[in-house]
């Protein structure tokens, strides 16, 4: 039998990707794929795979009136069916997470609805770049074990699946958090969590089944509720994106319509949008939605084109989930402003938002109803400086996208508002003006105040903090789950060192991001951390750590596919701890428009594809 070790996925340059770094088990990332070409002997062949629901052997959900009908953790505790329903997580419903669709168990409360992983073979079909699992652990800590993916051609690969604990796991990475748990003594006010964990698989191979981890050692108490292949979104390119930076109070807004202005990168003959109810505890209702080209302000250049969701005019986006619109034949120009209008028919008091939009959007008045079809902008009397709910615009065709993962500098802080002079916007303009490499879409997944290592926003509940969960905790959603992402350009770390995080911790975080991206077949371009002396928190001690991080990035030890030296581009040669005055917006941390241009010009376009 010939066995090859497959270190991650192949990148665009055909090289093997490096294996994931130590410490990644907790992320659920597969470390290796072992490919076996020889068929197994009939006598050694395990039992035929079964649909997951036929393997259910545990009951996690109980009705509040009958809490004793379920025992998720062996101690008589369970999830509340009423809490799940209030979150929009109803039996049999298909929910979207990071580009995958997972169907919830159809089980009624008090009947088996999950399987305790112990080597079961689960029937699964499809091709994609990953498999997503809806999971939770019940052992008091993360439950982790190794399983197997079996392909139709007889080959197989190993994966590592980690399920955080349903009562103590991190809120920053949960799919949904529920306010109670049921127990034999009655209902308790305590957060209960469920998680979606995604593991990479061999691209292009048709999957036949997955074998769950054996219930031994650290894998004991690993429960699986649903599993699905994350299909690659062929025929689509990401044109615009924004990260959910927090879950903030709004209004309350009552029966109003959002008209959001977004600036495209790549263009195409058809379009779809993505709405994401990230961090929420309750669903949000969408009455209608539309897309149009902007004329000026809230006025559309033509009659807005209505969007549908699964053939319906509206949708309900469950807590924590995402919803794509159906494709529509609307030609999206490259480098244009779109108006995406979303009617919120109910009363909304909090929404996931991207806080620093640097783009004026619009909102209709209370009780003004559905204004998504209006060409004129007169109904939109209020302006917005954020992007609520909308996280993506995709276009048909195209070569795929590069994702820029960053903080406030990449978010465009202190660049000219309403002018699209963030450095990722300027990078797109460079791509559009040449023919040597494909004109990739550019997706700006930056969050002001974001860090590599630690969460600023805790990942749950309404908060005034909108600096996001860490780059590591949002990687699946903001990079790996982005439409047709081919490369990630990482430019983070300054907020970590400003907050006292050591260079060693930042380096470990950047290595973890790199390993996980490589395992999914993405190229990684790493940027050095720019200087910021003169800003309050950019102390000599912080700069010392920044210099150490940059030395590692330049050393080649990080196994990055390419490095772009933003530090060298923007620093003052006479005072290298500071940026050049010509690039300084005035706060010594954020570049001005000229500095943004310098960053965009420093990227070697060929590095984006190898």
Interval 468-494: pLDDT, tens: 999 999 999 999 999 999 999 999 999
In a domain, 235, yes or no: no
Shared domain for 516 and 446, answered yes or no, is yes
- Nearest CA to 576 out of 607, 537, 534 is that of 534
For residues 307 and 449, membership in a common domain is answered with: no
Q: What is the pLDDT of residue 108?
A: 98
Q: For residue 27, what pLDDT band results from cuts at 50, 70 and 90? A: very low
Final residue of a domain: which of 362, 379, 396? 396
pLDDT digits (tens, 9 = 90+) for 360-405: 999 999 999 999 999 999 999 999 999 999 999 999 999 999 999 9
Whether 196 and 265 map to the same domain: the answer is no
**Domains in the chain: how many in total?**
3
Q: Cα separation of 272 and 394, whole Å? A: 5
Domain shared by 17 and 161, yes or no: yes
CA 224 vs. chain centroid, Å, equals: 21
Condensed to tens digits (0 to 9), the pLDDT of residues 325-338 reads 999 999 999 999 99
Reduced to 3 states, what is the DSSP secondary structure of residue 429? helix
pLDDT of residue 433: 97
Instruction: Please state which of the ranges 1-15, 189-203, 338-352 shows the lowest mean pLDDT.
Output: 1-15
- Domain co-membership, 403 together with 392: no
Whether 408 and 551 map to the same domain: the answer is yes
Percent share of the chain, pLDDT over 90: 91
pLDDT greater than 80 at residue 47? no
Instruction: State residue 610's pLDDT score.
Output: 72
Closest CA to 257 of 359, 390, 445, 357: 390
The C-alpha atoms of residue 603 and residue 426 are separated, in whole angstroms, by: 11
What is the reported pLDDT for 46?
56
- The answer to whether residues 316 and 355 touch, using CB atoms and an 8 Å cutoff, is no
pLDDT of 16 over the 90 cut: no
Q: Is residue 236 part of a domain?
A: no
Separation in Å, CA 106 to CA 53, 97, 336, 560: 9, 18, 44, 44
- The C-alpha atoms of residue 323 and residue 317 are separated, in whole angstroms, by 6
Per-residue pLDDT, 211 = 98
- Report how far residue 374's alpha carbon sits from residue 389's, in angstroms, rounded to the nearest whole number: 20
Rounded Cα distance, 272 and 328, in Å? 6
pLDDT higher than threshold 50 for residue 193? yes
Residue 485 lies inside a defined structural domain of this protein: yes
Distance between CA atoms of 27 and 33, rounded to whole angstroms? Answer: 16
284 and 336: one domain?
A: yes
The model's pLDDT over 173-187, given as tens digits with 9 standing for 90+, comes to 999 999 999 999 999
381 and 509 in a single domain? The answer is no
pLDDT of 20 over the 50 cut: no
- Average pLDDT of the chain? 93
d(CA 592, CA 597): 9
pLDDT at 453 over 60: yes
Of residues 4 and 36, the one with the higher pLDDT is 36
Mean pLDDT across 259-272:
98
Domain membership flag for residue 237: no
Furthest-apart CA atoms within the chain: distance in Å: 74
pTM, two decimal places: 0.92
Question: Across residues 538-565, what is the average pLDDT?
Answer: 97
CA 376 to CA 92: how far, in whole Å? Answer: 41
Residue 49: the pLDDT is 97
Percentages helix, strand, coil for the chain, rounded to the nearest 5?
15, 35, 45
Same domain (yes/no): 351, 437: no
Which pLDDT belongs to residue 23?
34
Question: Is 176 part of a structural domain of the chain?
Answer: yes
Same domain, 372 and 455: no
Is 362 in the same domain as 413?
A: no
Identify whether 497 is part of a domain: yes
Q: Residue 318: inside a domain, yes or no?
A: yes
Beta strands in 51-137 (DSSP E): 61-62, 79-80, 94-97, 100-103, 115-116, 121-126, 130-137
Query: By C-alpha distance, which of 59, 55, 184 is closest to 111?
Result: 59
Last residue of a domain, one of 349, 369, 396: 396
Rounded distance between C-alpha atoms, residue 205 and residue 203, angstroms: 6
Q: What is the CATH number of the domain that holds 560?
A: 3.40.50.1110
Question: Based on the domain organization, do 160 and 191 belong to the same domain?
Answer: yes
What range does the domain containing 199 cover?
A: 3-230
Residue 125 lies in a domain: yes
Question: How far does CA 69 lie from the centroid of its chain?
Answer: 36
Count other Cβ atoms within 10 Å, centred on residue 499. Answer: 14
Instruction: Tell me if 236 sits within 8 A of 161, measured CB to CB.
Output: no
Domain final position from 396, 412, 431: 396
């Amino acid at each position: 039998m010939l066995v090859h070790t497959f270190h991650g996925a192949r990148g665009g340059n055909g090289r093997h990707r490096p294996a994931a770094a130590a410490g990644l088990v907790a992320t659920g990332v597969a470390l290796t794929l072992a490919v076996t070409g020889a068929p197994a002997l009939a006598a050694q062949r395990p039992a035929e795979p079964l649909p997951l629901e036929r393997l259910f052997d545990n009951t996690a959900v109980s009705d509040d009136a009958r809490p004793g009908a379920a025992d998720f953790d062996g101690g008589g505790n369970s999830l509340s069916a009423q809490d799940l329903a209030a979150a929009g997580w109803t039996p049999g419903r298909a929910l979207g997470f990071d580009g995958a669709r997972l169907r919830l168990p159809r089980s009624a409360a008090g009947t088996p609805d999950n399987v305790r992983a112990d080597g079961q073979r689960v029937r699964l079909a499809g091709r994609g770049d990953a498999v997503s699992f809806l999971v939770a652990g019940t052992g008091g800590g993360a439950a982790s074990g190794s399983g197997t993916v079996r392909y139709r051609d007889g080959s197989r690969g190993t994966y590592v699946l980690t399920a955080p604990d349903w009562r103590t796991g991190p809120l920053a990475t949960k799919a949904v958090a529920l306010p109670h748990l049921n127990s034999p003594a009655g209902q308790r006010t305590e957060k209960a969590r469920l998680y979606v964990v995604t593991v990479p698989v061999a691209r292009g191979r048709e999957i036949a089944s997955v074998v769950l981890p054996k219930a031994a050692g650290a894998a004991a108490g690993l429960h699986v509720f649903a599993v699905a292949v994350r299909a690659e979104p062929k025929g689509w390119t990401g044109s615009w994106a924004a990260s959910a930076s927090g879950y903030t109070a709004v209004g309350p807004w009552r029966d109003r319509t959002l008209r959001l202005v977004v600036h495209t990168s790549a263009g195409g003959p058809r379009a779809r949008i993505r709405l994401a109810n990230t961090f929420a505890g309750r669903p949000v209702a969408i009455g209608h939605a539309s897309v149009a080209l902007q004329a000026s302000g809230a006025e559309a250049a033509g009659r807005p084109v209505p969007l549908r969701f699964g053939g319906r005019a509206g949708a309900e986006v469950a807590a924590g989930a995402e919803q794509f619109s159906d494709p529509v034949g609307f030609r999206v120009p490259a480098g244009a402003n779109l108006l995406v209008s979303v009617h919120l028919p109910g009363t909304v008091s909090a929404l996931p938002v991207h806080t620093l939009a640097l783009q004026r959007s619009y909102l209709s008045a209370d009780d003004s109803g559905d204004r998504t079809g209006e060409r004129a902008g007169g109904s939109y009397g209020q302006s917005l400086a954020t992007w609520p709910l909308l996280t993506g615009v995709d276009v048909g065709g195209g070569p795929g996208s590069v994702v820029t993962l960053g903080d406030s500098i990449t978010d465009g802080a202190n660049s000219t508002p309403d002018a699209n002079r963030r450095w990722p916007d300027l990078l797109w303009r460079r791509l559009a003006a040449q023919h040597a490499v494909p004109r990739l879409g550019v997706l700006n997944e930056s969050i002001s105040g974001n860090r590599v290592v630690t969460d600023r926003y805790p990942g749950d509940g309404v908060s005034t903090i909108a600096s996001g969960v860490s780059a590591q905790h949002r990687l699946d959603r903001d990079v790996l789950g982005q439409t047709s992402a081919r490369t990630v350009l990482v430019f983070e770390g300054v907020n970590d060192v400003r907050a006292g995080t050591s260079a060693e911790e930042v380096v470990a975080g950047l290595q973890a991001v790199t390993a996980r991206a490589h395992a999914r077949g993405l190229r990684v371009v790493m940027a050095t951390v720019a200087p910021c002396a003169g800003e309050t928190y950019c102390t000599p001690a912080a700069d010392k750590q920044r210099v150490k991080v940059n030395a590692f990035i330049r050393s080649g030890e990080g196994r990055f596919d390419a490095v772009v030296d933003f530090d060298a581009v923007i620093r003052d040669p006479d005072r290298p701890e500071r940026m050049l005055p010509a690039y300084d917006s005035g706060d010594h941390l954020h570049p001005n428009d000229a500095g943004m241009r310098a960053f965009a010009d420093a990227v070697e376009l060929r590095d984006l594809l190898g």
